[in-house]
Structure 1
Amino acid sequence: MNIQASRFGSESGPSDQPPQGGGNPLGVQAGQPGEGDGPSIVQHYLRIAQRWRWLILGSIAACVALGLVATLLMTPQYTATATIEISREGSQVTNFEGVEREVSISDQEFYQTQYGLLRARTLAERVAGQLGLIDNPEFFASYGVEGGDDPAFALDNGRYTAQGRQDRQRIAGEILLANISVAPARLSRLVDISFTGPDPAFAARVSNSWAENFIQSNLERKVQATSYGREQLQAQLADYKERLDESQRQLVTYASSEEIINLPAQPGADGRTQERSIVADDLAALNAALTEATADRIQAEARARQAGGGSSSTESLSNPAINNLREKRADLAGQYELLMVRFEPGYPQARALQSQIDELDRAIAREEARVSGSLQGDYRAALEREQTLQARVNRLKADYLDLRRRSIQYNIYQQEVDTNRALYDGLLQRFKEIGVAGGVGVNNVSIIDPADVPQAPSSPNLLMNVLLSLIVGAGIGAALAFLLEQIDEAITDPTEVRRKLGLPLLGTIPTVAEGRPDEALLDRKSSLVDAYLAAFTNLGFTTEHGVPRSFAVTSTRPAEGKSTSSLALATTLARAGKSVILVDGDMRSPSVHQLGGVDHDRGLSNFLAGDDEIETMTFPMTHLGFTAMSAGPIPPNAAELLTGNRLDLLMRRLLEMYDHVVIDSPPVMGLADAPLIATHVEGVLYVVESHNIRAGLVKNAIGRLNSANIRIFGALLTKFEAKKSAYGYSYGYEYGYSYGKEDEGKSGKAKA
């Protein structure tokens, strides 16, 4: 206290005029949550859960109880499972390209179709018919189907009549479909077919029958598709056979009329056999002969030209007769040259030799002429043959061009014949394959594991139901808690003062046990004194000169703790060494005089009515250390007294006599007193009762003060119970107000 007294004793003096405006420089109280230090979203939901924990726990308990009761009352259900394998296609024993087919992404469409067929209504009705469920009253009774007035379930000697069999079959199929499940195994071709029912043996029979009937229906669909395909192909074969015959007749007729004669040829590189015409063959043969004749003519011409050179020609040099003659001439010439060495040309023997040589020269010339004539004859024969062949080739070319012109339409008819033949052959081959495949009957669905009779029920699962009940109960409880939290406008936590009201929090005042507030203030170690001391400390930061010289304490409605707060703040100021007067400004419901043990015959109302004897209107609060002024006699209309200038005169005189003036103001809502009083003080300290007043009502009251341009220093949150607020524990309110009490009690016991 001495520290606080020295601190506030050095502060500047009061201002004659109270400041106007709603501004507030106050920071948030140290150690308490402020606007910027509010809880995170997780803490916010934890606070809601802790506040409504009993509601959430009750919801969980109720749901768990309901879950237990429902589980115990449920009829045990048994699940039997049969596993089948669905291949993309059956083994194609007639397909020579391969037996197995590679799986691709597009096969998903096939498998989804198969899963849909496993859940088909027709399959369910087929199973119901095979198991005899359509005419079984016990089956319908076990699944809660009561016939009533339905003629389909009319009994005749304990049996159903035949008239409603179709309706019963439909209903039986719906019952089976409602209890069957098809579960494909991931990344495999296996499918589990499970049936759930109250009878384990019946569940196994249904699962196995479902798998068997699916296989049979699959085979029947293939047979039906094969039969339909054969009929369609047979009709198409007849149609294409007629087209082929017609096109062939048209081709033969045109070839006869145009005299187009083609011969069969060997198959080509593409395996196709093409016809060839006689003209083409003749032209090819004559063209080859012409080429050969031309070569012969060129060769004969070359030999004839060489023969024109005389003895230098190749033919002359290679002729044996000419060569013999030349050899004889050479011998005679040699002999002649020897004679000339010794004799003259006129020598008889020399003339005889010269005569023989001349005869041989004439023989050689005759022989060379004969050879040259033979070569010229060969050349002329070759040339004539070449010219003859050339003429025939030219005629055949004209004939071939004419044939090509006439073969255009022929080729069109021929292509039509080829096309019709190819279509007919393809359909015929397909027709044969369908016939063979239909006879083989290979199925692509097989049973891997038949269903066994289950030994233990699959439901109800007690642990799972309890866990589900816990989750549902927690969800319902959380939803209710969140809904109530949104509906509840009560201010339960200190952090909500700034967030909901826009006011800084000066202090959080805990609720106290029953008794007079002045008696609680006498215990300086009580939590109430500690709380108001913290509020008093924060109040010192609201103005530049410290604690306001004059301020009013008001609230939204009565009984929120404003009178106790006024008394406590006046007591705290007095203990800080200040001279303080507490004025009871509530002239409608006065209460300060009761704490002083006096009556209110003289007080504020007397001064406002014109009486200037202030000393007779005050009384000392000796046990708390300050002076108080009662409200005085209750006037007929307190607001009229407050509208004059007497209250302003009173405030000036009191501030001359005391360091601080604290006014216990009336509530704001419904009255004009509080705004009138607040205009004559520096500001207002607003009291908000926690857990018991709606924030909207408080905001309306604060709005009235703001509209009158009244300065509000901050708010006091009174009657706070930390146990009702999760933030009370999180931010240490409970710990702060009880700090040292427990240790002191333990210490006292130890000393005792």
Structure 2
Amino acid sequence: MLRDPALVSPYRGDDPDGGARPAAQPARSTISPLLLQYWNAVLRRRWTIVGIVATFVVVALVATLLTAPRYTASVQLEISREQKRITNVQSIESEEAGRDMEFYATQYALLKTRPIAERVSSDLRLAGNDEFFAAHGVQNAGGDLAAGGRERIAVREKLAIDLLLANVDIVPVRTSRLVNVNYTSRSPDFSARIANAWTAAFIAKSMERQLDSTADARRILERRLANLRQRLEESERMVVSYASDEGIVTLDQTRDSEGKTQSTRTLAANNLDALNTALNVAIDARVLAESRLRAAGSTTSEALSSPALAGLRQQRAQVAAEYAKMLVQYEAGYPTVEALARQRDALDTAIRQETDRIAGGRTQEYRQSLQRETELRAEVERLRGSLTKQQRAGIQWNVYQRDADTNRQLYDALLQRYKEIGIAANVGANNISVVEPAQIPVVPSSPKLFLNLALALVGGLMVAGVVVIALEQLDDGVREPAEVQTLLGLPLLGNTPNVEGNVVHELNDAKSHLYEAYFSVRSNLAFTTSHGLPRTLSVTSTRPAEGKSSTALALALVMGRTGKNVLLIDADMRSPSQHDLVGCPNTAGLSNYLAGDDDWQRNVQETLYKGVSLIAAGPTPPSPAELLTGERLPRFIASVAGQYDHVVIDSPPILGLTDAPILGEAVEGCILVVEAGGVPVRGIRSSIARLEMVHAHVFGVILTKLQQRRGGYGYGYGYGYGGDRYGDDRT
């Protein structure tokens, strides 16, 4: 189980004798880096990882080799947003519809629909082709049914359609209008044929949808046109009928580009306009005649411009001139003069008569102009009343006219649309084109050996990682020295390497890493009490085979080599092992003294190790726990402590037995041996709790069988040892 780093404090509490316990040498301050923990977990579970990965790779290899090769044929299509505009006639589809975000997604979905599969199956007659089913690994399709029966045919058709849909794949080309239609089967020929047939069916279906929608639109427009035609006829008939009833006679009408009636000219309006114009002319003539009438008779323009009057005046002037000439020569009574006078008077009379005639003509002209003006004004008033009446009636007529115009516009628009749709339907334009047809593939698309092996390798590594993490989580033992203080709350006295072979041979070598490790433990023990190394101590563990016996022997050996007189007592009367480690007999020992033999000194055996003596476990008693609970054990501990510098007791394991807590209470303190990655933390905590229940003092923990690569812990140049056990499984 991977744990977070934590600072550790090597020792806690006070000395049981009342003195302050000196601080021991601190253990490592932090747990190993997380990556290093993972690496150590990989090293520990390397064979599990290798097995899982190898299994995945072998399964992938076998599955790849046993899988029939499959061939994929691909057709590339171009799907445009807008149809190719062959004519300038709009289709019934909205031009904006193709610009929607859902357009291409819709097209991709339409490419893989059941109607297309049904069309392909029908066009290629796949339901009756056994080679098609064999190309997809289906044998005897529909064979359980009656041969030639309709049910069998229906089953084969459904199976063929399902196979088509299951093996077609639509792959859009990103950021383009292209899409690949892939079809995969065991037959290269079938793959190419079906891929090409699939695209052809899709294009045909697309055009059929357009034609169907066009036909529906034409049918709808036909019904609408019939209704509008009838409404248009009724509205136009209403306009004519109402105009006839109201006497509205239209001369001409003007319409705009949309067919709406802009202006209508009626007969009454036209007559009124003409009469009004004539009235204006008559008024002008009457005013002119009146003006001429008021002018003087001889100075009027007519008088001045009259040829007759001008001739008379000229003749009078000549006669007057001749008369004046004759008066110079003759008297007034001279006949010639009188004749000229009479001629002059006659001309004056004629001039006066002509002038009166001209004045009488002006009067007559004025009277005629006035009469004409009066008559025209009366007629205009009459026509104005008639037009006003028609205008009142024209309001309703305009309503009928607008209704007719609206119906005419709708009818013309629908008729034009009907013709355009017919033209667009006959053209048959399409927005889908084949860019590259499918070719018969020559290389199988699957299975891909290297890809499958790579995927199997990746999958195996992932599964192996999950398994390793799960095992590490389940394996919650203490694996690193830095975890002791964090998980157990006890100081770390030291850690020892895992070695192969005989532990005793390693301990005999003062330069070995194992000896140096226990020498370091001995140095740390010197700080556990106020008087240095404990006088009496027991070495125990949670379960057997954690290295407690080897640890007890190693501590006794290290203390003896420093010049101390050490007594090693084998108190594990159920499974003694110290006599085998030091090469002594086990004929008598601790069990003899506890059973009633007061002379314990004769059971002391000298060993080959300097300063180390041994009291073996002795014969195995029926109930070792009963022997330990008596008063003889404390008396024995006190006796041997008085004669030896240090007493080291090899105690039985804690779990399941009561021996270790009893021994721990009788000595100055005990050492708990913990195998690295062995007993779960909850078991170790349970052992510590049992020791604390009897008020046994625990000096600390020794972590044994630590792998060289685990956590980077080592001595000098590294342990250099392998194996899983110290030697004898009993230690």
| Same fold flag (TM > 0.5) | yes
Alignment of 1:63-212 (within 5 A): 63-95=56-88, 106-147=99-140, 150=143, 154=147, 164-212=152-200
* C-alpha deviation, 1:54, in angstroms: 2.0
8 Å CA contact retained: 1:520, 1:528: yes
Q: Secondary structure at the match of 2:446?
A: coil
- Return the letter of the residue paired with 1:737: Y
* C-alpha deviation, 1:231, in angstroms: 1.2
Q: Give the alignment partner of residue 39 of structure 1, picking from 15, 33, 42.
A: 33
Q: Secondary structure at the match of 2:701?
A: strand
CA distance in 2, matches of 1:38, 1:614: 49
Distance 1:119 1:593, change over 3 A: closer
Q: Give the alignment partner of residue 737 of structure 1, picking from 719, 724, 727.
A: 719
Q: Secondary structure at the match of 1:94?
A: coil
CA distance in 2, matches of 1:283, 1:453: 89
Distance 1:148 1:437, change over 3 A: closer
Distance 1:525 1:105, change over 3 A: farther
* C-alpha deviation, 1:554, in angstroms: 1.0
Q: Give the alignment partner of residue 717 of structure 1, picking from 699, 703, 711.
A: 703
- CA offset digits 1:431-490 (Å, max 9, x no partner): 010111111112222222222222333233222222223223333433443444444455
8 Å CA contact retained: 1:279, 1:396: no
8 Å CA contact retained: 1:283, 1:396: no
Name the TM-score, length of structure 1 as normaliser. 0.70
- CA offset digits 1:189-238 (Å, max 9, x no partner): 22222222333233222222222232223223322222222111101111
- CA offset digits 1:400-452 (Å, max 9, x no partner): 5x877766555544443333233222211110101111111122222222222
Q: Structure 1: any 5+ residue segments left out of the alignment?
A: 1-13, 155-159, 304-319, 321-373, 740-752
8 Å CA contact retained: 1:531, 1:737: no
Q: Give aligned pairs, total.
A: 635
Distance 1:163 1:588, change over 3 A: closer
8 Å CA contact retained: 1:226, 1:438: yes
Q: Secondary structure at the match of 1:275?
A: strand
CA distance in 2, matches of 1:429, 1:734: 102
8 Å CA contact retained: 2:276, 2:380: no
Q: Structure 2: any 5+ residue segments left out of the alignment?
A: 1-13, 292-303, 305-361, 722-731
- CA offset digits 1:251-279 (Å, max 9, x no partner): 44555556666665545698843235769
CA distance in 1, matches of 2:271, 2:565: 147
**1:450 and 2:443 matched:** no
* C-alpha deviation, 1:533, in angstroms: 1.5
Alignment of 1:443-522 (within 5 A): 443-489=430-476, 491=478, 493-494=480-481, 497-498=484-485, 501-515=488-502, 518-522=504-508
CA distance in 1, matches of 2:96, 2:406: 35
CA distance in 2, matches of 1:190, 1:704: 77
**1:572 and 2:558 matched:** yes
CA distance in 2, matches of 1:414, 1:101: 34
- Per mean C-alpha deviation after superposition, the further-off stretch among 404-413 and 563-572 is 404-413
8 Å CA contact retained: 1:587, 1:605: no
Alignment of 1:663-682 (within 5 A): 663-682=649-668
* C-alpha deviation, 1:532, in angstroms: 0.8
CA distance in 2, matches of 1:619, 1:287: 164
Distance 1:479 1:396, change over 3 A: same
- CA offset digits 1:494-544 (Å, max 9, x no partner): 4554565454433222344444x5554222112221121222233344456
Distance 1:520 1:625, change over 3 A: farther
- Return the letter of the residue paired with 1:206: I
CA distance in 2, matches of 1:545, 1:101: 101
- Per mean C-alpha deviation after superposition, the further-off stretch among 662-671 and 587-596 is 587-596
8 Å CA contact retained: 1:248, 1:417: yes
* C-alpha deviation, 1:25, in angstroms: 6.3
**1:523 and 2:523 matched:** no
* C-alpha deviation, 1:609, in angstroms: 6.0
Distance 1:642 1:117, change over 3 A: same
CA distance in 1, matches of 2:276, 2:538: 137
- Return the letter of the residue paired with 1:207: A
- Return the letter of the residue paired with 1:62: T
**1:236 and 2:224 matched:** yes
Alignment of 1:510-589 (within 5 A): 510-515=497-502, 518-543=504-529, 546-589=532-575
Please give the root-mean-square deviation of Cα atoms over the aligned residues, in Å: 5.0
8 Å CA contact retained: 2:275, 2:379: no
8 Å CA contact retained: 2:90, 2:420: no
Distance 1:633 1:76, change over 3 A: closer
Name the TM-score, length of structure 2 as normaliser. 0.72
8 Å CA contact retained: 1:26, 1:713: no
- CA offset digits 1:586-622 (Å, max 9, x no partner): 45545545637365646487379695x6755655556
Q: Secondary structure at the match of 1:624?
A: coil
CA distance in 2, matches of 1:539, 1:597: 28
Distance 1:236 1:25, change over 3 A: farther
* C-alpha deviation, 1:47, in angstroms: 2.5
**1:215 and 2:200 matched:** no
Q: Secondary structure at the match of 1:443?
A: coil
Distance 1:28 1:419, change over 3 A: farther
Distance 1:15 1:217, change over 3 A: closer
Q: Percent identity?
A: 40
* C-alpha deviation, 1:240, in angstroms: 1.8
